[in-house]
């Protein structure tokens, strides 16, 4: 277990969401959520189905603009467009894999480098020495990332032909190619077998060791508690608790949200809140 | 989907080496018949009456017969011929024999029908028919790659009923009693389309016969890894590529300069079967390896072959066709940036060709242009045409590219029509005077570059290059520019961003790609390339008018044909749209005798192609996988491994 190597808790914050509210018409999907992710941290976000985790994620990546509240990345308010958010330094993966399935593995990662390269139409047509150098560097960097994720041997395969677990890895490699300061993983182990989950854990630790903060949504509790320095629990759009493994596991509201309330109508923490 | 299993067995069980002997003998007979007289009058087009001097369709019989003999001998691994059949499959022999049979029997039947009777056949005709049949029988006796079982779609009984009713109606219409039952107003429509009552039963019965034949032959394709080629020195490989393109030039030249429909049909038959034969024998795969290794040489050879075309022609007629094919193909390649790479369905693309043509025509010094006095040199005019198209592309693209899919297609369709109608109305009466309305801008003077007048014939040593020859070479330069731009951009940061947007726009945005921006770049680049081609087109045709730039019509280029060329040829590739455009231009031009049924035949051909080869003639490897997902086994052996890798 590498959790011991977690850095001191008061590193510089990378992501700060404060009072984020997301309403769709009359439905409040996310309600007054605050979340801070610090440099070199792995933070988990859990909650029952429909709790608003992915909606919150989409607020962080520019796919949605929050109705209220602000999200800042390294002190700057996030721009409202996904591609600008990526350029600022937040990369993400998707709950259902969204690779460019008819491109090769290497090309997928090269697309991830889009924001970190500047070559436009004319330099592509003229192919000067600058263009060649940049293209060469991009390829080398992409191959390094594939090496890092253990996909280097398959760089010329089509993404669609990879087995499921490797497609997940490729999605992570593609996200890393944009050189993010914060990586958002949306259910990275969905549909994986225990060995693959184990490999994914190792990969996330390795990413953290690169100095990249990670925010991960997950249903697999074992995975989350092995991995995360801190875990926030979202229930019905509200963050009910945030803390380390013991804090979350021993919180009655969390237990109530997942397992239901005890039969004897004793006052539970959730009710006391309201 | 269950995977079909294969076997290698003959269709006909013939004793010993009889099959091979029959194939070779048949091929030799068919080839030899080319030197004999097929018919004794010169009433049949091409004059097939001479001994010792092949003409027209006889050349095709000669080529087919020789190909059959060569492939048959190569399948026995005769030293020196082994390279002709690297896959070791005999299917190539069968396809070559079938091609010969198709050509010979088509000619013989055409002679018999047109001249009314078997009596018109000379011995040569009989020899070709018997020889080609013998070759097919022999080839069926060779061990062929076959499927062990064929899925047999059933023809429902009521189809036969429909066929029978149609046949009876045809008879009744001939006799008159069925016609009397038809209301008088509709009668001319019925009597003019009697063929329909023949074609329908013929189609139904023909389809059933095809199913039976297919069930009997069960011809399949076994994917065998090709044995490693014996290494050749690279000069020899380059020589091979040059020779192949020389042969290709010969074939294309033959196709373009066919003078009558019968010859073109025979040519098409032989080309289709011949290509199938060479694919089965593995020659084409082997050549592809070579061309991949010598990409620059291949591109150079292709352009040299195209450039050599006008020098092989004595007249100008076919050179003009060649120049028009190049214009059409270049515009199709430009459209491939938009459709094939970025995945934006543009149904009004021909408008950009029109913008380029009009802009170049306005500054060409034509007396009908509103800027009568302005006469800029051609390179400047081409630049103006390209820039005008670029501006037009950005102006149209900026508001519309926020739409996706079908909506974009409809809006571009609208803009294409707006352009045409706008040009019609800018005549000084309905609108500002700019384009001369429906009359267009005529009498565009010829290009004159550094004292080289493109309108005049010029002598190059022993050969003379006429007006359209000059323009063909000019157009070839433009095509080369477009090919280079396409090839370089497709494999670059922007090109990858286009493909990513096409594959999954949301994911691409999340990877930092500004979707709107890169789509606008694709749209603008496509428009610019079309505008460049338009500037040349204005000078080749000498006049521009609004009705040249329609959405659909019988004459390419129009938006529908351009899109068809891209899809037919293969999206996202360079050679695909070029081949597709050449076919789409040649087929309507050569099948004049179909007259008003041209578009019908064209539509049927497109439907068949999309049913059997949705990825196009020269597919992008990726697209091929996309369309034949179910055919590829999920996991597996060496063959699958080769398939899962994306070749470029």
Q: Give the number of other Cβ atoms within 10 Å of residue B74's Cβ.
A: 21
Same fold, A1-89+182-189+213-274 and A96-179: yes
Are B432 and B378 in the same domain? yes
Q: Report chain B's mean pLDDT, rounded to a whole number.
A: 83
* Three-state secondary-structure class, residue A90: strand
Residues 6+ apart with CB under 8 A from A69: A17, A18, A19, A20, A21, A32, A33
Model confidence at B364: pLDDT above 80: yes
How far is residue A168's CA from residue A174's CA, in Å, rounded to a whole number? Answer: 10
Which domain, by its residues, includes B183?
157-217
For residue B603, tell me if it sits in a domain.
no
Report the chain B residue with the minimal C-alpha distance to residue A62.
B510
- Tokens (6 digits) for B458: 């010029």
Report the residue count for chain A: 274
* Cβ-nearest to A83 among B485, B494, B514: B514
Q: Given an 8 Å threshold on Cβ–Cβ distance, is A127 in contact with B494? A: no
Give the DSSP per-residue string, B316-345: SHHHHHHHHHHHHHHHHHHHHIIIIIS---
For residue B281, tell me if it sits in a domain.
yes
Are B94 and B211 in the same domain? no
Domain boundary at B217, B247, B268, which?
B217
For residue B492, tell me if it sits in a domain.
yes
A174 in B contact zone (CB under 8 Å): yes
Model confidence at A105: pLDDT above 50: yes
Which fold, A1-89+182-189+213-274? Rossmann fold (3.40.50)
For residue B604, tell me if it sits in a domain.
no
Domain boundary at B267, B295, B323, which?
B295
Q: Of B216, B493, B543, whose CA–CA distance to B362 is shortest?
A: B543
A132 in B contact zone (CB under 8 Å): no
In CATH, what number is assigned to the domain containing residue B422?
A: 1.10.3470
Which residues of chain B lie closer than 8 angstroms to A107, CB-CB? Answer: 496, 499
The full set of domain ranges for chain A reads 1-89+182-189+213-274, 96-179
Phi first, then psi, for residue B613 (nearest 5°) are: -145, 70
Domain boundary at B262, B295, B328, which?
B295
Model pLDDT for residues B246-299, shown as the tens digit of each residue: 888 888 888 888 888 888 888 989 998 998 888 888 888 888 888 878 888 888
Confidence of residue B568 (pLDDT cuts 50, 70, 90): confident
* Cβ-nearest to B503 among A81, A100, A120: A100
Confidence of residue B494 (pLDDT cuts 50, 70, 90): very high
Q: Specify the number of domains making up chain B.
A: 4
Model confidence at B516: pLDDT above 70: yes
For residue B202, tell me if it sits in a domain.
yes
Q: Given an 8 Å threshold on Cβ–Cβ distance, is B492 in contact with A124? A: yes
How far is residue B24's CA from residue B13's CA, in Å, rounded to a whole number? Answer: 17
| ipTM of this predicted structure | 0.87
Are B176 and B231 in the same domain? no
**Domain A96-179 architecture:** 3-Layer(aba) Sandwich (3.40)
Give the DSSP per-residue string, B413-480: HHHHHHHHHHHHH-BSSSS-BSS-GGG-B--PPPPEETTEETTS-EEETTEEE-HHHHHHHHHHHHHH
Phi first, then psi, for residue B435 (nearest 5°) are: -115, 0
Report the chain A residue with the minimal C-alpha distance to residue B509.
A83
For residue B609, tell me if it sits in a domain.
no
With a pLDDT cut of 90, the percent of chain B lying above it is 22
Q: Of B548, B575, B379, whose CA–CA distance to B478 is shortest?
A: B379
Q: Given an 8 Å threshold on Cβ–Cβ distance, is A83 in contact with B496? A: no
For residue B612, tell me if it sits in a domain.
no
For residue B619, tell me if it sits in a domain.
no
* Cβ-nearest to A102 among B497, B625, B645: B625
Q: State mean pLDDT over B445-471.
A: 80
Model pLDDT for residues B575-633, shown as the tens digit of each residue: 888 888 888 888 877 777 666 777 777 788 778 877 777 777 777 665 555 555 544 44
Q: Which stretches of B456-574 are assigned E, i.e. beta strand?
A: 458-460, 463-465
Model confidence at A75: pLDDT above 60: yes
């Amino acid at each position: 277990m590498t959790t011991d190597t977690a850095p001191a808790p008061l590193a510089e914050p990378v992501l700060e969401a404060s009072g984020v509210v997301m309403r769709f018409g009359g439905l409040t999907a996310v309600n007054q959520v605050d979340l801070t992710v610090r440099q070199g941290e792995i933070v988990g976000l859990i909650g029952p189905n429909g709790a608003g985790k992915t909606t919150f994620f989409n607020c962080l990546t520019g796919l949605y603009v929050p109705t209220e509240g602000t999200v800042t990345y390294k002190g700057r308010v996030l721009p409202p467009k996904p591609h600008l958010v990526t350029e600022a330094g937040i990369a993400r993966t998707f709950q259902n894999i969204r690779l460019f399935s008819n491109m090769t593995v290497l090309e997928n990662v090269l697309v991830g480098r889009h924001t970190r390269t500047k070559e436009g139409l004319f330099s592509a047509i003229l192919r000067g020495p600058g263009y060649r150098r940049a293209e060469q560097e991009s390829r080398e960097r992409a191959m390094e990332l594939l090496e890092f994720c253990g996909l280097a041997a398959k760089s010329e395969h089509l993404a669609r032909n990879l087995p499921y677990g490797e497609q997940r890895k490729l999605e992570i490699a593609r996200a890393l190619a944009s050189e993010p300061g914060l990586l958002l993983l949306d259910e990275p182990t969905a549909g994986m077998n225990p060995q693959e989950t184990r490999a994914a854990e190792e990969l996330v630790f390795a990413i953290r060791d690169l100095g990249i903060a990670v925010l991960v949504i997950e249903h697999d509790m074992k995975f989350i508690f092995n991995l995360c320095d801190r875990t926030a629990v979202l229930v019905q759009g509200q963050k009910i608790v945030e803390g380390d493994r013991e804090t979350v596991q021993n919180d009655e509201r969390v237990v109530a949200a997942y397992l239901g309330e005890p039969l004897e109508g004793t006052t539970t923490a959730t009710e006391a809140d309201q | 989907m269950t995977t079909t299993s294969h076997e290698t067995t003959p269709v006909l069980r013939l004793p010993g080496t009889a099959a091979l002997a029959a194939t070779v003998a048949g091929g030799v007979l068919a080839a030899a018949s080319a030197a004999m007289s097929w018919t004794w009058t010169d009433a049949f087009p091409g004059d097939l009456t001479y001994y010792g001097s092949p003409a027209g369709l006889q050349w095709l019989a000669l080529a087919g017969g020789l190909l059959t003999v060569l492939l048959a001998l190569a399948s026995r691994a005769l030293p020196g011929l082994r390279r002709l059949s690297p896959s070791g499959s005999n299917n190539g022999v069968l396809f070559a024999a079938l091609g010969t049979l198709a050509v010979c029997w088509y000619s013989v039947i055409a002679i018999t029908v047109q001249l009314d009777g078997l009596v018109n056949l000379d011995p040569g005709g009989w020899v070709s028919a018997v020889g080609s049949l013998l070759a097919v029988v022999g080839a069926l006796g060779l061990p062929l790659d076959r499927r062990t079982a064929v899925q047999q779609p059933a023809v429902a009984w009521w189809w036969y009923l429909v066929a029978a009713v149609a046949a009876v109606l045809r008879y009744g219409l001939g006799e008159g009693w069925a016609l009397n039952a038809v209301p008088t107003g509709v009668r001319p429509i019925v009597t003019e389309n009697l063929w329909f009552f023949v074609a329908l039963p013929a189609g139904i019965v023909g389809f059933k016969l095809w199913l039976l034949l297919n069930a009997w032959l069960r011809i399949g394709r076994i994917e065998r890894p090709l044995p490693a080629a014996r290494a050749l020195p690279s000069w020899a490989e380059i020589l091979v590529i040059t020779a192949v393109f020389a042969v290709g030039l010969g074939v294309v030249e033959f196709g373009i300069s066919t003078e009558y429909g019968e010859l073109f049909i025979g040519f098409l038959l032989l080309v289709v079967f011949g290509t199938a034969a060479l694919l089965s024998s593995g020659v084409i795969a082997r050549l592809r390896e070579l061309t991949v290794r010598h990409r620059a040489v291949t591109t150079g050879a292709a352009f040299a072959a195209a450039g050599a075309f006008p020098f092989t022609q004595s007249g100008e007629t076919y050179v003009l066709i060649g120049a028009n094919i190049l214009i059409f193909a270049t515009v199709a390649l430009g459209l491939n940036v938009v459709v094939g790479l970025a995945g934006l369905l543009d149904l009004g693309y021909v408008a950009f060709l029109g913008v380029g043509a009009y802009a170049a025509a306005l500054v060409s010094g034509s007396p009908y242009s509103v800027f009568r006095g302005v006469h800029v040199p051609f390179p400047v005019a081409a630049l103006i045409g390209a820039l005008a198209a670029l501006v037009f592309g950005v102006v149209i693209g900026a508001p519309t590219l926020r739409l996706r899919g079908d909506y974009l297609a409809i809006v571009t369709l609208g803009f294409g029509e707006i352009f045409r109608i706008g040009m019609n109305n800018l005549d000084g009466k309905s609108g500002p005077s700019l384009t001369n309305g429906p009359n267009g801008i005529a009498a565009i003077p010829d290009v004159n570059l550094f004292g080289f007048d493109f309108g005049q014939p010029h002598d190059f040593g022993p050969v003379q290059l006429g007006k359209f020859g000059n323009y063909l070479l000019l157009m070839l330069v433009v095509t080369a520019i477009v090919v280079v731009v396409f090839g370089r951009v497709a494999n670059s940061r922007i090109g990858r961003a286009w493909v990513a947007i096409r594959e999954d726009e949301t994911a691409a945005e999340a990877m930092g790609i500004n979707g709107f921006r890169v789509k606008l770049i694709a749209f603008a680049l496509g428009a610019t390339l079309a505008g460049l081609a338009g500037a040349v087109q204005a000078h080749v045709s000498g006049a521009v008018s609004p009705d040249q730039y329609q959405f659909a019509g019988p004459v390419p280029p129009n938006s529908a044909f351009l899109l068809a060329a891209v899809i037919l040829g293969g999206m996202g590739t360079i050679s695909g749209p070029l081949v597709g455009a050449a076919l789409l231009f040649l087929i309507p031009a050569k099948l004049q005798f179909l007259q008003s049924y041209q578009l019908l035949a064209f539509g049927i051909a497109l439907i068949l192609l999309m049913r059997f080869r949705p990825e196009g003639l020269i597919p992008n490897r990726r697209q091929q996988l996309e369309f034949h997902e179910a055919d590829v086994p999920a996991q597996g052996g060496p063959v699958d491994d080769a398939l899962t890798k994306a070749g470029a």
